[in-house]
Structure 1
Amino acid sequence: MKNPKLIEKAKTPFFKTFKEFMFFDIVITLGWAFLVTILILSFEQFEEVFKTKKAINTSVANKLFITALVAPLIEETAYRLSLKINRLNISISIGTQIILYLFIFRVINFPLHLRIILMGGVSLIIYLVINKTSVLYLKKKKRFFIYYNIIAFSLLHAFNFSFTSVLQYSFIPFLVSLQFCFGLYLSYARLSYGFKNVLLFHVFHNLMIILISQIAF
């Protein structure tokens, strides 16, 4: 994505696009699993960090609802919706990100439905405040805006782990490398295929991760 402005919305049939995504997703997921296995076998501290990965301790149905539906919807709204830059999309994405970060850093600890209401309220405030100059500036800096969202999306997943030393923090790039590659593809897909398709891709990815974790563990 050296020049996002040159990416045009593709007219490829959805099922062909989905098959291409499935292939890409399976390859990078298996590649990441292989990398993690090597690091676990090579570094005791990496294994310690990986074991701290947060899991949703609930029924399979609830896990599917949160991981395969709610999480993709919130994350795609936060990090991919605004890649089609306009006042409304930027407002919604930034509003969603703000509440997401406040929750992650434990500034707020409201139930999910209240956080979603807050996301809407903050998005509305941003929509009323943001001006045309800000939108034009982001359009000029679209490449940097895209990579900001990719990196922020990746680092978001570092909070799924707990760290107790500087060495352990150095493992973050490896821990979130799957999300970085995934974010790159989803950002390209957002620009090429639209928001609905990229949301479906994310849902499929999370379903696959749930399936693998259920089989493996």
Structure 2
Amino acid sequence: MQKENKIDECYQVRQIFAQKLHKALVKLLLPLEYMAIFALCAKDPVKERRAHARQCLLKNISIRREYIKQNPMATEKLLSLLPEYVVPYMIHLLAHDPDFTRSQDVDQLRDIKECLWFMLEVLMTKNENNSHAFMKKMAENIKLTRDAQSPDESKTNEKLYTVCDVALCVINSKSAMCNADSPKDPVLPLKFFTQPEKVIFFHSLFYHNKVI
């Protein structure tokens, strides 16, 4: 009973945090990277809380898109406003998830896929300005970089590319429009990714195909 109460308290704290996060994001008081945290809501075992988090995510995305439409000068700040730019932050966040310890563990990959799906499914509800291809291009471009926080650690970079591969599988499975040319070249946050290199980092999709 004591353990159950502790778990309940943990989720209550998480819910309060999510509500505060949502309110700050809706008012555009927090950087876009904080919206990536919503991907972790896929792990919440309570269906109602996951549904509530999805509604918060929908509202945040809608407000940002509407703000860009209503404020022409906002195009100069797309990196901090455009909802699709949450994708690289989400990929980096999931690559550093403490629960993600092995790149070839099928169960862990399924968890990563669920977190990616939670965010991407909402982002891909509409294909505005060929945004599906834009998000795919972001994931592909990340595979040309290294993790800026640990550029020389092979395991860290392997996890980063693995999350990219799973994200690409999710995007490809969700939309046929993602194979079109991206209307613009994405800008990746240098805080998390090094400058692109000429060689793309390929690795097997054997495990990733098992989780999609």
Whether TM exceeds 0.5 here: the answer is no
Return the TM-score normalized by structure 2: 0.24
TM-score normalised by the chain length of structure 1: 0.24
Rg comparison, structure with higher value: 1
More helix by share: 1
Higher relative contact order (CA 8 A, sep 6+): 1
